[in-house]
Amino acid sequence: MNVQKITTADGSWTAVGDRRIYVNDLIDAASWPDAKMTVGFARLDKGESMDISFPYDEVLIVTKGSYTVRTVGGETLTAGPGEAIYLPGGTSNASWAEEDTEMVYVANPPEVYAEHVAASAGA
Amino acid sequence: MNVQKITTADGSWTAVGDRRIYVNDLIDAASWPDAKMTVGFARLDKGESMDISFPYDEVLIVTKGSYTVRTVGGETLTAGPGEAIYLPGGTSNASWAEEDTEMVYVANPPEVYAEHVAASAGA
Protein backbone atom coordinates (compact mmCIF):
# COMPACT_ATOMS: atom_id res chain seq x y z
CA MET A 1 0.00 0.00 0.00
CA ASN A 2 1.28 3.44 -0.93
CA VAL A 3 0.38 6.81 0.51
CA GLN A 4 -3.34 7.50 -0.07
CA LYS A 5 -5.29 10.73 -0.12
CA ILE A 6 -8.77 10.19 1.26
CA THR A 7 -11.66 12.51 0.48
CA THR A 8 -15.43 12.37 0.57
CA ALA A 9 -15.38 12.39 -3.24
CA ASP A 10 -13.83 8.91 -3.23
CA GLY A 11 -15.73 5.72 -2.50
CA SER A 12 -19.48 5.34 -2.14
CA TRP A 13 -21.89 6.58 0.49
CA THR A 14 -24.09 4.03 2.22
CA ALA A 15 -27.18 5.02 4.18
CA VAL A 16 -27.52 3.52 7.65
CA GLY A 17 -30.97 1.93 7.67
CA ASP A 18 -33.60 4.45 6.59
CA ARG A 19 -31.96 7.32 8.42
CA ARG A 20 -30.17 10.36 7.08
CA ILE A 21 -26.85 8.97 8.22
CA TYR A 22 -24.32 8.10 5.54
CA VAL A 23 -21.00 6.31 5.87
CA ASN A 24 -18.18 5.92 3.38
CA ASP A 25 -15.36 3.49 4.18
CA LEU A 26 -12.25 4.49 2.23
CA ILE A 27 -9.47 2.50 3.85
CA ASP A 28 -10.83 -0.85 5.00
CA ALA A 29 -9.67 -4.42 5.52
CA ALA A 30 -11.31 -5.61 2.29
CA SER A 31 -9.51 -3.13 0.03
CA TRP A 32 -6.29 -2.72 2.02
CA PRO A 33 -5.52 -5.88 3.99
CA ASP A 34 -2.16 -4.50 5.18
CA ALA A 35 -3.61 -1.24 6.51
CA LYS A 36 -3.39 -0.99 10.30
CA MET A 37 -6.45 1.27 10.63
CA THR A 38 -9.83 1.68 8.99
CA VAL A 39 -10.65 5.20 7.79
CA GLY A 40 -13.92 6.58 6.52
CA PHE A 41 -16.24 9.55 6.42
CA ALA A 42 -19.67 9.97 7.98
CA ARG A 43 -22.39 12.55 7.37
CA LEU A 44 -25.42 12.95 9.62
CA ASP A 45 -28.32 15.33 9.20
CA LYS A 46 -29.17 17.47 12.21
CA GLY A 47 -31.01 15.49 14.86
CA GLU A 48 -30.02 12.05 13.62
CA SER A 49 -28.76 9.77 16.36
CA MET A 50 -26.83 6.53 16.73
CA ASP A 51 -26.22 4.09 19.53
CA ILE A 52 -22.49 3.41 19.54
CA SER A 53 -21.45 0.05 20.93
CA PHE A 54 -18.73 -1.93 19.22
CA PRO A 55 -15.68 -4.07 19.96
CA TYR A 56 -13.06 -1.81 18.29
CA ASP A 57 -11.61 1.56 19.30
CA GLU A 58 -12.76 4.48 17.18
CA VAL A 59 -11.76 8.14 16.88
CA LEU A 60 -14.32 10.60 15.50
CA ILE A 61 -12.78 13.80 14.13
CA VAL A 62 -15.50 16.37 13.49
CA THR A 63 -14.83 18.51 10.42
CA LYS A 64 -18.21 20.28 10.16
CA GLY A 65 -21.15 20.79 12.49
CA SER A 66 -21.37 19.56 16.05
CA TYR A 67 -21.63 16.06 17.50
CA THR A 68 -22.53 14.91 21.01
CA VAL A 69 -21.75 11.59 22.68
CA ARG A 70 -23.48 10.64 25.94
CA THR A 71 -21.90 7.87 27.97
CA VAL A 72 -23.78 5.27 29.98
CA GLY A 73 -22.70 7.27 33.03
CA GLY A 74 -24.60 10.28 31.69
CA GLU A 75 -21.66 12.48 30.80
CA THR A 76 -22.06 14.37 27.52
CA LEU A 77 -19.17 15.39 25.30
CA THR A 78 -19.76 17.70 22.32
CA ALA A 79 -17.13 18.09 19.61
CA GLY A 80 -17.03 20.76 16.92
CA PRO A 81 -14.79 21.25 13.88
CA GLY A 82 -11.19 20.26 14.58
CA GLU A 83 -12.08 18.39 17.75
CA ALA A 84 -12.12 14.64 18.27
CA ILE A 85 -13.80 12.03 20.45
CA TYR A 86 -12.07 8.77 21.36
CA LEU A 87 -14.46 5.83 21.83
CA PRO A 88 -12.79 2.80 23.42
CA GLY A 89 -14.05 -0.60 22.33
CA GLY A 90 -16.58 -2.19 24.65
CA THR A 91 -18.10 1.08 25.81
CA SER A 92 -21.74 1.89 25.03
CA ASN A 93 -22.88 5.39 24.19
CA ALA A 94 -25.74 7.33 22.67
CA SER A 95 -24.77 10.00 20.14
CA TRP A 96 -26.45 12.56 17.93
CA ALA A 97 -25.79 15.39 15.48
CA GLU A 98 -26.51 18.85 16.92
CA GLU A 99 -26.31 20.28 13.37
CA ASP A 100 -25.67 18.81 9.94
CA THR A 101 -22.38 17.14 10.75
CA GLU A 102 -19.41 15.66 8.92
CA MET A 103 -16.76 13.48 10.53
CA VAL A 104 -13.73 11.42 9.69
CA TYR A 105 -13.60 8.16 11.65
CA VAL A 106 -10.56 5.98 12.26
CA ALA A 107 -11.06 2.51 13.75
CA ASN A 108 -8.75 -0.21 15.01
CA PRO A 109 -8.19 -3.14 14.74
CA PRO A 110 -9.40 -3.10 11.11
CA GLU A 111 -10.28 -6.81 11.00
CA VAL A 112 -12.50 -6.44 14.07
CA TYR A 113 -14.19 -3.46 12.41
CA ALA A 114 -14.77 -5.48 9.22
CA GLU A 115 -16.28 -8.42 11.14
CA HIS A 116 -18.57 -6.11 13.09
CA VAL A 117 -19.81 -4.30 9.98
CA ALA A 118 -20.43 -7.60 8.18
CA ALA A 119 -22.38 -8.98 11.15
CA SER A 120 -24.42 -5.76 11.46
CA ALA A 121 -25.30 -5.83 7.77
CA GLY A 122 -26.56 -9.39 8.08
CA ALA A 123 -28.65 -8.68 11.17
CA MET B 1 -10.45 4.11 29.64
CA ASN B 2 -13.71 5.97 29.14
CA VAL B 3 -14.84 8.07 26.23
CA GLN B 4 -12.52 11.06 25.81
CA LYS B 5 -13.00 14.39 24.10
CA ILE B 6 -9.75 15.56 22.54
CA THR B 7 -9.07 19.19 21.71
CA THR B 8 -6.06 21.37 21.07
CA ALA B 9 -6.73 23.05 24.43
CA ASP B 10 -5.79 19.83 26.23
CA GLY B 11 -2.24 18.60 26.68
CA SER B 12 0.90 20.52 25.90
CA TRP B 13 2.45 21.64 22.64
CA THR B 14 6.00 20.56 21.88
CA ALA B 15 8.11 22.23 19.21
CA VAL B 16 9.87 19.91 16.76
CA GLY B 17 13.51 21.00 16.89
CA ASP B 18 13.78 24.75 16.28
CA ARG B 19 11.08 24.77 13.67
CA ARG B 20 7.60 26.25 13.79
CA ILE B 21 6.09 22.80 13.95
CA TYR B 22 4.23 21.87 17.11
CA VAL B 23 2.82 18.52 18.18
CA ASN B 24 0.47 17.64 21.00
CA ASP B 25 -0.06 13.96 21.85
CA LEU B 26 -3.38 13.56 23.64
CA ILE B 27 -4.05 9.84 23.56
CA ASP B 28 -0.76 7.99 23.82
CA ALA B 29 0.64 4.71 25.13
CA ALA B 30 2.09 6.38 28.24
CA SER B 31 -1.20 7.92 29.41
CA TRP B 32 -3.60 5.31 28.02
CA PRO B 33 -1.92 1.90 27.82
CA ASP B 34 -5.16 0.21 26.71
CA ALA B 35 -5.83 2.63 23.85
CA LYS B 36 -5.52 0.96 20.46
CA MET B 37 -4.51 4.16 18.65
CA THR B 38 -2.42 7.23 19.34
CA VAL B 39 -4.15 10.57 18.70
CA GLY B 40 -2.67 14.04 18.65
CA PHE B 41 -2.74 17.45 17.04
CA ALA B 42 -0.09 19.14 14.90
CA ARG B 43 0.31 22.76 13.84
CA LEU B 44 2.77 23.89 11.18
CA ASP B 45 3.46 27.40 10.01
CA LYS B 46 3.30 27.98 6.27
CA GLY B 47 6.38 26.64 4.51
CA GLU B 48 7.54 24.36 7.29
CA SER B 49 8.43 20.86 6.11
CA MET B 50 8.99 17.40 7.57
CA ASP B 51 10.49 14.19 6.28
CA ILE B 52 8.02 11.46 7.19
CA SER B 53 9.53 8.01 7.63
CA PHE B 54 8.35 5.81 10.47
CA PRO B 55 7.45 2.22 11.28
CA TYR B 56 3.77 2.81 12.17
CA ASP B 57 0.74 3.67 10.04
CA GLU B 58 -0.52 7.22 10.40
CA VAL B 59 -3.59 9.12 9.21
CA LEU B 60 -3.36 12.91 8.90
CA ILE B 61 -6.74 14.66 8.95
CA VAL B 62 -6.34 18.29 7.90
CA THR B 63 -8.69 20.62 9.76
CA LYS B 64 -7.22 23.97 8.63
CA GLY B 65 -4.86 25.09 5.88
CA SER B 66 -3.35 22.82 3.25
CA TYR B 67 -0.76 20.07 3.49
CA THR B 68 1.23 18.31 0.77
CA VAL B 69 2.96 14.92 0.91
CA ARG B 70 5.42 13.92 -1.82
CA THR B 71 6.21 10.24 -2.11
CA VAL B 72 9.62 8.81 -3.05
CA GLY B 73 8.05 8.07 -6.43
CA GLY B 74 7.46 11.81 -6.91
CA GLU B 75 3.68 11.83 -6.61
CA THR B 76 2.28 14.77 -4.62
CA LEU B 77 -0.95 14.65 -2.65
CA THR B 78 -2.40 17.83 -1.17
CA ALA B 79 -5.12 17.68 1.49
CA GLY B 80 -7.28 20.56 2.68
CA PRO B 81 -9.83 20.84 5.50
CA GLY B 82 -11.88 17.68 5.92
CA GLU B 83 -9.52 15.60 3.82
CA ALA B 84 -7.09 12.95 5.04
CA ILE B 85 -3.83 11.31 4.00
CA TYR B 86 -2.99 7.72 4.94
CA LEU B 87 0.73 7.06 5.44
CA PRO B 88 1.56 3.35 5.66
CA GLY B 89 4.44 2.41 7.92
CA GLY B 90 7.76 1.90 6.17
CA THR B 91 7.12 4.46 3.44
CA SER B 92 9.27 7.56 3.18
CA ASN B 93 7.87 10.92 2.17
CA ALA B 94 8.63 14.63 2.16
CA SER B 95 5.83 16.88 3.36
CA TRP B 96 5.18 20.57 3.87
CA ALA B 97 2.52 23.08 4.88
CA GLU B 98 1.20 25.14 1.95
CA GLU B 99 -0.42 27.53 4.47
CA ASP B 100 -0.60 27.71 8.25
CA THR B 101 -1.96 24.24 8.83
CA GLU B 102 -3.65 22.26 11.59
CA MET B 103 -4.07 18.50 11.58
CA VAL B 104 -5.28 15.66 13.74
CA TYR B 105 -3.06 12.58 13.49
CA VAL B 106 -3.96 9.04 14.43
CA ALA B 107 -1.19 6.41 14.59
CA ASN B 108 -1.08 2.66 15.07
CA PRO B 109 0.24 0.52 16.71
CA PRO B 110 0.52 2.91 19.68
CA GLU B 111 3.48 1.10 21.28
CA VAL B 112 5.48 1.33 18.05
CA TYR B 113 4.67 5.03 17.90
CA ALA B 114 5.85 5.50 21.50
CA GLU B 115 9.13 3.67 20.88
CA HIS B 116 9.80 5.71 17.76
CA VAL B 117 9.12 9.04 19.48
CA ALA B 118 11.33 8.07 22.43
CA ALA B 119 14.18 7.05 20.10
CA SER B 120 13.84 10.27 18.08
CA ALA B 121 13.92 12.41 21.21
CA GLY B 122 17.12 10.70 22.30
CA ALA B 123 18.85 11.14 18.94
In a domain, A8, yes or no: no
State which H helix or E strand residue A113 sits in.
Answer: helix A110-122
In a domain, A72, yes or no: yes
Residue of A28, A37, A77 to mutate, testing the B interface (most B Cβ within 10 Å of its Cβ): A37
Q: Which residues contact A33 (CB under 8 A, 6 or more apart)?
A: none
For residues A55 and A58, give the distance between their C-alpha atoms in angstroms, rounded to a whole number: 9
Residue B4 to chain A, least CA–CA distance (Å)? 5
Residue B25: which CATH number? 2.60.120.10
pLDDT tens across A60-71, in order?
Answer: 999 999 999 998
Q: Which domain holds residue B64?
A: 20-122
Q: Alpha helices of chain A — where are they, by DSSP H?
A: 110-122
Say if the Cβ atoms of B93 and A3 lie within 8 Å.
yes
In a domain, B8, yes or no: no
In a domain, A53, yes or no: yes
- Amino acid at position A25, single letter: D
In a domain, B14, yes or no: no
In a domain, A95, yes or no: yes
pLDDT tens across A44-65, in order?
Answer: 999 999 998 999 999 999 999 9
**Residue A57 has what pLDDT?**
96
Whether the ipTM is more than 0.90: the answer is: yes
In a domain, A65, yes or no: yes
In a domain, A4, yes or no: no
> Total domain count for chain B?
1
